[in-house]
Amino acid sequence: MTGGVWWEKDAGERERADGRTVPGPGPTGVQPELVDATREAVRAGVRGRIAGHTPDWTDPDRQDAGVALVRLFGIQAEPVLGRVNRLPEKVLAEHLAIAGVRRRPAGAAAALLEFTVNPPDGSSVLVPAGFQSAASTPAGQVVYETDQDLYATPATLGDLAVQEAGTLEPLPLGPSGPSRPFAPFGRDPEPGNGLWIGLAGPAAPYPRLSLGFVVVAAPPAPAASGGTAPPPLPPGPLLRWDVLDGTRLVPAELLRDSTAGLSAGGTVELRVPRSWEPGSPSATRPRLRWLRVRIAHGAFAGPAPVLSGLRLNVVAATAARTIRDEPLQPVQDPAASGRRRMKLSQVPILAGSVVIEVDDDAGGDVFGTTAGTTSRWREVESLAGYGADDRVFTVDHDSGEVTFGDGVNGAAVPPGFRNVRAVRYRVGGGSAGAVRAGAVGGVVTALPFVTGVNNPFPASGGTDAEPDAGAMRRGAGELRARGRAVAPADYGLLATRAPGASVARARGVAGLHPDFPGVPIPGVVGVLVVPSAPPVPPGGDLGEPPVPTAATLRAVADFLSRRAAPAGVTVVAAPAPYRRVGVESWVTLDPDLDRAAVLARAGDAVRGYLDPLRGGEDGAGWPFGGALRHTALVRRLLAVDGVLAVTRLSLTVDGVRHPPCTDHALPPHTLVWPERPLLIPVGEQP
């Protein structure tokens, strides 16, 4: 090849100045171009050697066999040189992997499933945990698996009434539950107020009854942890569940409550008596099997809950499949590192779901008189930091490869045949599991008397595996933090590791406390959290900006204060603030292309650029507090195939229209949420 490359001694001054960099996935967004990886450059390099090596070749005709070979060589060499250019990216990825920085695995979506049963005697039907149902999505079939046992009753919701100040106020019912949102404890909740639920059916539900609730979400309050001991929060109200057995009230045992006292959506499971006779709480209500929940003591610290949905036979489910009792297959270690590698058959694997048992070494028992024993090993992120007696392993969630220790970092697996078994592990995850309401309808597990299953409410969560570029972007920060939060940026980086939290991005700000806006508070670090959210399909509905749950904020604050922050620092986790941004632009389109398709691509380009999770110049999400630049938006539109010119562009921020062709500075630590852009085709060129 004749062209000099950037590292040669005789490279030109201009080449040494810019290093011939090209866009790349690393932390800086660029990487060096080692060679000119085009077929034209390869052919030019061969052509430059003809005079010195084959001077008798003087026929440049395209029909010449030599010319054909040179052209073919250029075509074949182009992908090879392309891989050479990826060497810096590969080196960085390998160094980060050695240091323990790995890309985050896919996360599974969760949904509430409602079952319909029709047993001949009207009794409840046991739907065991692990029951599988499916939803059809553009990405293929997604299997949902129930997390707990469910006793499904053929009874239906017959009546609802709210008890407030000693009187019963009936609630209107639709075909599938309450016809409008309602306050289950009245407008002014106090002890004695409650909700009456009437069930109609031939037989009493027994032994358990499961209810699903959807709570109208309110913005979660900031969660603080660490620092000086905060004043104790007032306890929430004590709720009591009873059944009206004929004419007397009998307590119902609360077995499970994922709603935290009807303050969040989830399920409530009760143990109900076998002898549950119909009755009526008042002369105006019908004779049904009535269930009551009332405030026995205390009050709500914040706004009273408002319910928008109430269903029977509801159980939580996860978009995953469970694999049980699978012997691991050995994998040859070409590096001969001393660590034993084995493989699971199904992928992708959900993080933290692998449970492995290993048969202990019985080599000293030559007569086989000792009963074999097994030990359970646990999954960790990295073997570094573990000793020779620690029974731990790591999992590559994409490939299914399991790595055990070498007797120095982590215990070594004793020799044997099929002596390592996966008791269970779960396979699934991805944004495809975040299905709309009613998408789950296929029954995978056959069970008598189960006639149907559906998800009456949309699924939540579900994230794809982190791309390699994302892991490399945060790799430098991970190495700098080393699991401890010192600089404010470390808090935002480590917040994504909080167990039980759904965090896609976070930003740490010194002195920021949402309860005291504009005033820096010493000893406080505010962490603004953006939860994971599935990508919006092209042309799809944007909906509302992603807001973390109260449970996520609490998990982030507790994790950072206990595991990462120095002593005495108060960590306050809060939702990231947003500004709604609308873009109105006049564009000139190519008349030879389909106008609707070009406008759709242009709208998706604007929305993608402003996306808080996947937008920005590098695709890592819109920067906190980043200014809205008119020229940057124009460049995004002009990059769309079919957009010839942008004659005018204006912004509307939180309903306030700004003059055309002007920039807008966002408040510090603020993200944008794009509304559907308005693109007006004008002045089409012939």
Q: Which helix (H) or strand (E) holds 423?
A: strand 420-428
pLDDT, residue 619, reads: 80
CA dist 619 → 464, 470, 615 (Å): 15, 9, 5
The region, left, alpha or beta by phi > 0 then psi within -120 to 50, assigned to residue 192 is left
Output the six-digit token pair for 271. Answer: 């143990």
Q: Is 551 helix (H, G, I), strand (E, B) or coil?
A: helix
Picking from 293, 252, 299, the residue whose alpha carbon sits closest to that of residue 160 is: 293
pLDDT in tens, 542-599: 678 888 888 899 999 999 998 888 888 999 999 999 999 999 999 999 998 999 999 9
Burial class for 253, CB neighbours closer than 10 Å (0-12, 13-18, 19+): exposed
The tally of CA atoms less than 13 A away on the side-chain side of residue 89 is: 21
- CA 311, 315, 318, 322 torsion-angle sign: negative
pLDDT, residue 169, reads: 92
Name the band, by pLDDT with cuts 50, 70 and 90, for residue 272. Answer: very high
- 653: amino acid identity, one letter: V
Query: Among 28-32, 71-75, 119-123, 185-189, whose mean pLDDT is lowest?
Result: 28-32
Angle, vertex CA 405, rays to CA 399 and CA 407, nearest 5: 165
Spatial separation of the C-alpha atoms in residues 158 and 407, rounded to whole Å: 64
Query: Among 19-23, 269-273, 493-497, whose mean pLDDT is lowest?
Result: 19-23
Spatial separation of the C-alpha atoms in residues 298 and 282, rounded to whole Å: 26
Spatial separation of the C-alpha atoms in residues 512 and 491, rounded to whole Å: 13
pLDDT, residue 251, reads: 94
pLDDT, residue 25, reads: 54
Spatial separation of the C-alpha atoms in residues 313 and 154, rounded to whole Å: 9
- CA 444, 446, 452, 455 torsion-angle sign: negative
Domain residue spans of the chain? 13-98, 107-150+431-463, 156-175+183-209+238-305, 328-428, 483-575, 578-681
Name the band, by pLDDT with cuts 50, 70 and 90, for residue 44. Answer: confident
Spatial separation of the C-alpha atoms in residues 252 and 273, rounded to whole Å: 7
How, if at all, do strands 140-146 and 167-170 pair? unpaired
pLDDT in tens, 624-651: 998 999 999 999 999 999 999 999 999 9
Name the band, by pLDDT with cuts 50, 70 and 90, for residue 362. Answer: low
Token pair 């959506």 in the structure block, residue: 265
pLDDT, residue 263, reads: 85
Average pLDDT on 198-223 reads: 89
Token pair 């650029």 in the structure block, residue: 609
With a cut of 50, say whether residue 686 has pLDDT above it.
no
Spatial separation of the C-alpha atoms in residues 401 and 344, rounded to whole Å: 6
Average pLDDT on 470-478 reads: 76
Name the band, by pLDDT with cuts 50, 70 and 90, for residue 6. Answer: very low
Which residues sit opposite 254 in a β-bridge?
270
pLDDT in tens, 415-440: 888 899 999 999 999 989 989 999 99
Per the CB < 8 A criterion, the answer to whether 646 and 631 are in contact is: no
Query: Among 143-147, 402-406, 550-554, whose mean pLDDT is lowest?
Result: 550-554
User: In the predicted model, what is the mean pLDDT of the chain?
Assistant: 86
Name the band, by pLDDT with cuts 50, 70 and 90, for residue 105. Answer: confident
pLDDT, residue 342, reads: 94
Most confident stretch, 77-91, 529-543, 607-621: 607-621
- CA 602, 603, 605, 606 torsion-angle sign: positive
Query: Among 22-31, 50-59, 191-200, 481-490, whose mean pLDDT is lowest?
Result: 22-31
Average pLDDT on 294-322 reads: 91
Per the CB < 8 A criterion, the answer to whether 403 and 393 are in contact is: yes
Sheet holding 505-510, edge to edge: 223-226, 570-575, 524-530, 505-510
With a cut of 80, say whether residue 229 has pLDDT above it.
no
Task: Write phi, then psi, for 52 (nearest 5 degrees).
Answer: -85, -25
Query: Among 33-47, 91-105, 149-163, 259-273, whose mean pLDDT is lowest?
Result: 91-105
pLDDT, residue 394, reads: 93
Spatial separation of the C-alpha atoms in residues 612 and 591, rounded to whole Å: 33
Q: How much is the pTM?
A: 0.78
pLDDT, residue 31, reads: 64
Average pLDDT on 398-415 reads: 92
Which residues sit opposite 320 in a β-bridge?
428
Spatial separation of the C-alpha atoms in residues 94 and 88, rounded to whole Å: 10
pLDDT, residue 9, reads: 36
pLDDT, residue 290, reads: 96
pLDDT above 90 covers a percentage of the chain that reads 50
Average pLDDT on 390-412 reads: 93
Average pLDDT on 180-204 reads: 92
Q: Which helix (H) or strand (E) holds 526?
A: strand 524-530
Most confident stretch, 72-81, 141-150, 174-183, 487-496: 141-150
- 116: amino acid identity, one letter: T
